[in-house]
Amino acid sequence: MQGFFKKLGEEYKSKLFLVYWLRWMLSAVVMLPFMEVFHYFNFPLWLNLFLGQTIGALIFFKLDKLIFSKK
């Protein structure tokens, strides 16, 4: 089990993970205004989440392709 966590920790100590983490944090900020609008109009939570994630996917599709295409 200790070897598993050591390997996992080493995998996450990378520039690629840092870039991905920053992208993930940015996506939360980008999707929040849309989700607030959906909340204002009393959309159910499941629909709010679905629409927010869909908008985020549309916005970040190209950026994710760039991140994951780097070797």
Give the tens place of pLDDT for each residue, 3-21: 887 887 787 788 888 888 8
- What is the pLDDT averaged over residues 21-39? 91
pLDDT at 14: 83
First-last CA distance in the chain: 28
- What global pTM score does this model have? 0.65
Burial of 43 (0-12, 13-18, 19+ CB in 10 A): middle
Reported as a pLDDT band with limits 50, 70 and 90, residue 49 is very high
- What is the pLDDT averaged over residues 47-53? 94
Domain ranges in the chain are: 14-69
pLDDT at 40: 98
